[in-house]
C-alpha cells in the first residue's frame, strides 16, 4: 500500500498539524492528475490513516494522529524518507544511534543538513528526545566524545518529552519549534508522531 501513497502521506507526517484541501494538497504534492490524488486520498481515508472532514463546501484532509496505526505507518514513512537522502553521512549517524542505551528515544537531525544547505565546514545538528523518566546527562555522556571527534562534528541536543512539548506550546519562537519545522527522523518516528499528537491536542498549530 505504501509504495504509491507514501509521497502524499509524507506531506502529512512531516507537518502533522496541517490540514489540506484537495487543491492545496495537489499543489503541495506537485501532482497534475486529479484522479490519481483522489484515489490515494480515498485509500488513506478508508485505511483510517487520514481523516476527511467537511469545512464549508469543501472536504479537508488531516493526519489521524491519535491512531496507533497512523503513528506506526506515518512514522515508518518519515524514517524511510530520512534514510534515503544522498547527502547525509549515514554511517556516522548509525554509529551514534548504536551508542544510545535508551530504547524508546527519538533520533533526528535538524539544521543545515535537514535543509540540504550544509557546507564542507557544517556541523550535523543531532536532537535526541527521551522519555521523561530518563536522564539527559546520561545520553550526553554516551555520545559527547564521539560527536566532538566525528568528522564532520556533531552538535548534540538532548531533551525530555515534556521539555520538547513545553517548547512547542510556548508562545515564543524557540528551538523546539525550529526542530518541528525542519528535521529528518532516523529513529522513533512513531514516538515522535505520538508526541506531536499530544502537542496538537494541546493547541500547537505549527
pLDDT in tens, the chain (206 residues): 456 689 899 999 999 999 999 999 999 988 778 998 999 999 999 999 999 998 888 899 999 999 999 999 999 999 999 999 999 999 999 999 999 999 899 999 999 999 999 998 899 999 999 999 999 999 999 999 999 999 999 999 999 999 999 999 999 999 999 999 999 999 999 999 999 999 999 999 98
State the CATH class of domain 79-201.
alpha beta
Adjacent-strand bridge partners of 138: none
Helix (H, G, I), strand (E, B) or coil at 125: strand
Q: Could you tell me the residue ranges of all domains in the chain?
A: 2-63, 79-201
Q: Domain 2-63 belongs to what topology?
A: Arc Repressor Mutant, subunit A (1.10.10)
Taking a C-beta distance cutoff of 8 angstroms, is the pair 104, 191 a contact?
yes
CA distance 13 to 44: 13
Non-local (6+) Cβ contacts of 119 within 8 A are: 112
Cα angle 169, 170, 176; round to 5: 75
Non-local (6+) Cβ contacts of 143 within 8 A are: 96, 99, 100, 126, 128, 154, 156
Which pLDDT does position 2 carry in this prediction? 57
Residue 89: other Cβ atoms inside 10 A: 16
The model's pTM is 0.93
CA 133 to chain centre: 22
Strand 50-55: give its sheet, edge to edge.
19-21, 58-63, 50-55
Tell me, yes or no, if the two domains 2-63 and 79-201 fold the same way: no
Which pLDDT does position 1 carry in this prediction? 47
Adjacent-strand bridge partners of 55: 58
CA distance 22 to 58: 8
Q: H or E stretch including 192?
A: helix 189-201
Percentage above 70 pLDDT, the chain: 98
Amino acid at each position: 500500500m505504501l509504495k504509491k501513497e507514501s509521497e502524499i502521506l509524507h506531506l502529512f507526517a512531516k507537518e502533522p498539524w496541517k490540514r489540506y484541501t484537495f487543491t492545496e494538497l495537489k499543489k503541495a504534492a506537485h501532482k497534475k492528475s486529479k484522479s490519481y490524488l483522489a484515489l490515494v486520498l480515498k485509500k488513506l481515508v478508508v485505511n483510517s490513516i487520514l481523516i476527511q472532514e467537511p469545512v464549508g463546501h469543501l472536504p479537508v484532509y488531516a493526519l489521524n494522529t491519535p491512531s496507533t496505526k497512523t503513528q506506526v505507518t506515518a512514522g515508518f514513512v518519515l524514517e524511510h524518507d530520512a534514510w534515503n537522502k544522498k547527502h547525509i553521512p549515514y554511517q556516522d549517524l548509525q554509529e551514534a544511534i548504536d551508542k544510545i542505551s535508551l530504547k524508546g528515544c527519538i533520533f533526528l537531525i535538524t539544521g543545515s543538513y535537514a535543509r540540504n544547505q550544509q557546507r564542507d565546514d557544517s556541523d550535523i545538528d543531532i536532537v535526541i528526545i527521551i522519555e521523561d523518566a530518563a536522564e539527559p546527562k546520561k545520553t550526553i555522556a554516551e555520545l559527547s566524545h564521539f560527536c566532538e571527534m566525528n568528522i564532520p562534528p556533531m552538535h548534540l541536543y538532548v531533551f525530555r518529552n515534556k521539555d520538547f512539548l513545553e517548547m512547542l506550546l510556548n508562545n515564543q519562537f524557540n528551538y523546539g519549534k525550529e526542530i518541528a519545522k525542519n528535521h529528518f527522523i532516523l529513529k522513533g518516528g512513531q514516538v515522535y508522531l505520538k508526541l506531536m499528537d499530544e502537542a496538537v491536542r494541546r493547541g500547537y498549530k505549527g
